[in-house]
Structure 1
């Protein structure tokens, strides 16, 4: 190579390493040296110089770039100015994927690669071209600063190609359609009754059609999203992975064509052509959401891990954890509200690695928060440890926050609407309304008298909206008169050892941050006795953020100054006891942010009556229930519906063991004392009802 070409190469390596990633320049340069030769050899393009470092003018190379990619001047301007990474035009978007495959096959034939479909370590043809184009632009304009320089932590050499989308699809239940996907070189989706999606002009029109077909009447948000993304969001050139369960990959391919409707197919008629690049079975460390179709662009470390395990055959779980933590750190801010810079991020990761080595401890991959806190105390107290003394404690604190906000994905027991209705004593139309209210408002309060099952309903409502019993996506707290912003959001708390104070995030902040890292799944925050606390004081600045149209907007928290938002996939369910006279009404500003649904006693519910009649001795209980209905009528007339006696008093395993004994306990020690509270100014009325109820289980009226 001539001296001039070598100088150009070294300039490129230095600039790209500084601006695009630590090892990118070293990795890309050898391919650019022979790019023209490789393209000619693989019959991908011809007529270009063998060594691309011979192109030393931005305008000259821009013409070469546009000849190959057919990308517009506007797209190129957006890219070099850092305003986005436009997609390649369709033709180039699909042909460029052949580059890596041709090199892999060639190296395999020469004995330099273990498998012909191992694409590891081979850069994308388009990425190579873009890197050299952008280098030339800034080399000729030295007064300009590459705008993504401060974000290079997130744009390293192993980062995803942002000009395409990455998808994972499930090939039917239990992967039963994978063989058809494979042999037919396609991917497919169900919902065949929709017919050709080309007949729909909007996402809403698809949702209306799915809603008409669903028997449960529930808004089909997730179904609509999957169909719309398959139809409109997936593009030729996108990468598609096929999954089995939540941790296995069956194939990697490239989408080669637009959506089409195959009316001759017996099922799964919505289709797209795919060229499969790698086929097999690989198990990964991270997990997928249990959904039919998911876009993975929000999970760059997951894409990187898939690529690693498919091409190298193993997963370095520590490297995966470090990389995920690195990206997480790049989205954090200092106490002044500024983003952490590259130097700070690298220093914190180096500090944690050094602590692991010096103290023989495990940090990356550790999930025990208390263990990490104990390690922090040991490190800080060790006077002989000097190397990273200044940042050790804060680095471990950041890692603890990272662990707390990490979502858990596991295979759970499914939970359907029919199962809900078999366990919860409300009518189907009421359940459909509850789901609709929560989906549309995102904040719901279940109000009602004691014993109507508000808490039980709240958890089961979360389960049915998830479609599974996933307790990791539900958190419950109970408000009380002393509950504060510091308990709920964040505040300074005394250290466990009694020396000073430390800033602690509250349960809602931790929960919302976990949900934000898992945008494809719904999370439910349940607040018992919501009207026992001072809501305005507890929620503080979050009063605005919980509104439906303010979800995702950021504010700085009061104490930490951290940027915080309430993501759209967080639903808040509160329970309100309407029979407690000591509780203040919610103020109007707060009421506007919630929908309210009254839960009433379910004594007329068919499922409840079936439950009663299946008990060993239902006669006495049925007599009591007749009286309770009459009692509730009088309570409603004199006190209001919020003071009725609820059905939950008569539900539980104890009734299945000894109905009569449990019935007597509930009447004597729960319901009758409540009646004396209601009619504290009329004991005779309370006594009369007490005797009527006692007469029921004595066999009298």
Structure 2
């Protein structure tokens, strides 16, 4: 190799290492040195210089690049300016996939690889070529700075081809269709009643048709997204991973064709052709959400781990944790809204590694938050530790936030609309309305009298929208008169050991950040007794961010000055006791940010009636309930519907043991005292109703 070409190679290696990733320069360079020879050998192109570093100018190489990829001038302008990574034409997609397969087969024949379909460690031909194009552009324009430089870790340009999308698909229930997927070189989706999706002009049209078919009346947001993504978002050249359960991968393939509707198929008629590159069964450390179709581009760590496992690369759990933390750090922003640059990210990671070594303590992989906080106090107070003195505390703080916001994916018990209706004494049309209100407004308040089951309903409302009982995606707090911004959002709080103060994140900030890291799944923040707190004071500057059309917008938090936003997949459910005179009304600014739904006593509900009739002494309870209905009629006339006696007073395991005894306890020690509170200025009326209720307990009328 002559000196000019060698100099060009070294300049490229240094620039790519600095701008596209620390490992990228050394990884790509050997391939570019022999790329022309490889293309000739694999019958993928001829007439090129054997060593691509022989192309010395941007204009010369741009012509070669366009000749091979068939990308337009506009595409290249977007690419080199950092404004996007245009998709390659279908013809080139097929050729670049052949490049990887042929390279793996060639190395297998030489004994370098254990399997001919093991494609790990081979850079994508397109990514390889465009890295040299970008380098030449900025080498000839030294006054310009590559815009993606500060985001190179997040973009993972040294690991994945971000000109394509990566998809995870489930081949039917319990992977029953996988053999058909493999044998017919395709992927497929259900919802056959929709017919050919080419007949639909918009995503809303698809949603409307699915909603018509659903018996539960729930807005089919997730189903619609899966169908629309399969039809419009998946494109030729995209990578498809087939999953089994929440931790296994069955195959990796490349989409080779457009969407088509196979009317001759017996089921799963929505289809796309796929070229399967690797087939087998691999188990991962990370877990997947239980969804039919998921785009993995927001999760580069998933893509990396899948490829590593499939290619039988050794995965060091600690290094995997370090890399995940590094990627997460690169997406954090300073108080000016600027992402942490590579130098800052590297410094913080290095600081944590040094702390581990110096103090002989575990950080990466540690999940005990209190343990990490104690370690931070030790490190900061140790005057002899000076190496990373200025950043050690903040580095541990970042890692604590990283752990706190880490989503959990696990096998959960499913929860259907039928489960909801058997659990909760509410009509199907009412739950459909509740779900619609919550999906559209994002914020919902359930109001009603004591004992109508608001808390019980709110949690099961979350379950039915998640379609599973996942407690990790629900967080509940209770407001009171002393609850503050510092409790809910963030604030300075005394340390546990009493030595000074520390800045602590509140539950809403922690849970919002957890939801933001898991955008494919819904999260629910439930607030009991929401009107017992001063909502304007508690929410502060976040009052704007909870609005449905403001989700995702960022503001700086009051104490930390950190950038913060409320993600669109976080739903807020509040509960409001309308019978408590001590509570202040919500102000109008807050009211317009919520939908309000009144939960009423369910004595007429068929499921509630069935529950009563299954008890060992239903006659006793039915007498009382008939009298409670008459009582409620008078309460509504004189006090309002929010003061009625709710049905929850008459539910619970104690009724299954001794119905009559439990009825007597509830009447005497819960409901009658409540009546004297209601009619504190008319004790005779309260006393009359007390006698009537006691008479029902005794079998009188």
Per the alignment, residue 316 of structure 1 pairs with 316
Is contact 1:446–1:599 with CA below 8 Å preserved after alignment? Answer: yes
Per the alignment, residue 613 of structure 2 pairs with 613
Q: Is structure 2 residue 484 aligned with structure 1 residue 484?
A: yes
Q: Which residues of structure 1 form unaligned runs of 5+? A: none
Per the alignment, residue 62 of structure 1 pairs with 62
Distance in 1, matches of 2:663 and 2:313, equals 63
Per the alignment, residue 19 of structure 1 pairs with 19
* Deviation digits for residues 524-582 of structure 1 (CA, Å, limit 9, x no counterpart): 00000000111111111111111111111111111111111111100000000000011
Per the alignment, residue 305 of structure 2 pairs with 305
* Deviation digits for residues 409-438 of structure 1 (CA, Å, limit 9, x no counterpart): 111000000110001001111011111111
Q: Which residues of structure 2 form unaligned runs of 5+? A: none
Per the alignment, residue 681 of structure 2 pairs with 681
Q: What's the CA shift for 1:157?
A: 5.3
Distance in 2, matches of 1:24 and 1:37, equals 21
Q: Is structure 2 residue 178 aligned with structure 1 residue 182?
A: no
Q: What's the CA shift for 1:404?
A: 0.4
Per the alignment, residue 28 of structure 1 pairs with 28
- SS of 1:692's equivalent in the other structure is helix
Q: What's the CA shift for 1:387?
A: 2.5
Q: What's the CA shift for 1:340?
A: 2.2
Q: What's the CA shift for 1:337?
A: 4.8
Judged with a 3 Å threshold, the aligned counterparts in structure 2 of structure 1 residues 363 and 157 are, in CA distance, closer, same or farther, namely: same
Tell me how many residue pairs correspond in the alignment. Answer: 701
Instruction: Note the 1:400-415 alignment, pairs <5 A.
Output: 400-415=400-415
Per the alignment, residue 229 of structure 2 pairs with 229
Distance in 1, matches of 2:28 and 2:139, equals 17
Q: Is structure 2 residue 576 aligned with structure 1 residue 572?
A: no
- SS of 1:672's equivalent in the other structure is helix
Deviates further, 141-150 or 178-187: 141-150
Is contact 1:24–1:156 with CA below 8 Å preserved after alignment? Answer: no
* Deviation digits for residues 378-403 of structure 1 (CA, Å, limit 9, x no counterpart): 33344443322332222111100000
Q: What is the TM-score of this pair, normalised by structure 2? A: 0.99
Instruction: Note the 1:551-570 alignment, pairs <5 A.
Output: 551-570=551-570
Distance in 1, matches of 2:199 and 2:621, equals 58
Is contact 1:529–1:575 with CA below 8 Å preserved after alignment? Answer: yes
Is contact 1:158–1:304 with CA below 8 Å preserved after alignment? Answer: no
Instruction: Note the 1:506-655 alignment, pairs <5 A.
Output: 506-655=506-655
Distance in 1, matches of 2:621 and 2:48, equals 90
Distance in 1, matches of 2:612 and 2:313, equals 58
Q: What's the CA shift for 1:348?
A: 1.1
Per the alignment, residue 46 of structure 1 pairs with 46
Distance in 1, matches of 2:315 and 2:11, equals 34
* Deviation digits for residues 615-650 of structure 1 (CA, Å, limit 9, x no counterpart): 001111111101100000000000000000000000
Distance in 1, matches of 2:156 and 2:566, equals 29
Q: Is structure 2 residue 263 aligned with structure 1 residue 255?
A: no
- SS of 1:96's equivalent in the other structure is helix
Is contact 2:156–2:300 with CA below 8 Å preserved after alignment? Answer: no
Distance in 2, matches of 1:43 and 1:102, equals 10
Distance in 1, matches of 2:331 and 2:25, equals 25
Q: What's the CA shift for 1:155?
A: 4.0
Instruction: Note the 1:420-431 alignment, pairs <5 A.
Output: 420-431=420-431
Per the alignment, residue 348 of structure 2 pairs with 348
* Deviation digits for residues 53-91 of structure 1 (CA, Å, limit 9, x no counterpart): 111111111010001101000010011011111111121
Is contact 1:480–1:529 with CA below 8 Å preserved after alignment? Answer: yes
Is contact 2:335–2:556 with CA below 8 Å preserved after alignment? Answer: no
Per the alignment, residue 661 of structure 1 pairs with 661
Per the alignment, residue 326 of structure 1 pairs with 326
- SS of 2:265's equivalent in the other structure is coil
* Deviation digits for residues 108-144 of structure 1 (CA, Å, limit 9, x no counterpart): 1100111111111111111111011111111111122
* Deviation digits for residues 218-259 of structure 1 (CA, Å, limit 9, x no counterpart): 111111100000000000000000000111110000000100
Distance in 2, matches of 1:197 and 1:153, equals 38
Distance in 1, matches of 2:562 and 2:78, equals 31
Distance in 1, matches of 2:200 and 2:152, equals 41
- SS of 1:545's equivalent in the other structure is coil
- SS of 1:389's equivalent in the other structure is coil
Is contact 1:21–1:155 with CA below 8 Å preserved after alignment? Answer: no
Per the alignment, residue 396 of structure 1 pairs with 396
- SS of 1:167's equivalent in the other structure is strand
Is contact 1:58–1:136 with CA below 8 Å preserved after alignment? Answer: yes
- SS of 1:596's equivalent in the other structure is strand
CA RMSD of aligned residues (A): 1.2
Distance in 2, matches of 1:550 and 1:277, equals 42
Is contact 1:612–1:618 with CA below 8 Å preserved after alignment? Answer: yes
Per the alignment, residue 100 of structure 1 pairs with 100
Per the alignment, residue 73 of structure 1 pairs with 73
Is contact 1:153–1:330 with CA below 8 Å preserved after alignment? Answer: yes
Is contact 1:22–1:157 with CA below 8 Å preserved after alignment? Answer: no
Is contact 1:170–1:293 with CA below 8 Å preserved after alignment? Answer: yes
Is contact 1:284–1:315 with CA below 8 Å preserved after alignment? Answer: no
Instruction: Note the 1:89-168 alignment, pairs <5 A.
Output: 89-156=89-156, 158-168=158-168
Distance in 1, matches of 2:375 and 2:18, equals 35
Distance in 1, matches of 2:489 and 2:687, equals 47
Q: What's the CA shift for 1:278?
A: 0.8
Is contact 1:242–1:251 with CA below 8 Å preserved after alignment? Answer: yes
Q: What is the TM-score of this pair, normalised by structure 1? A: 0.99
Deviates further, 8-17 or 638-647: 8-17
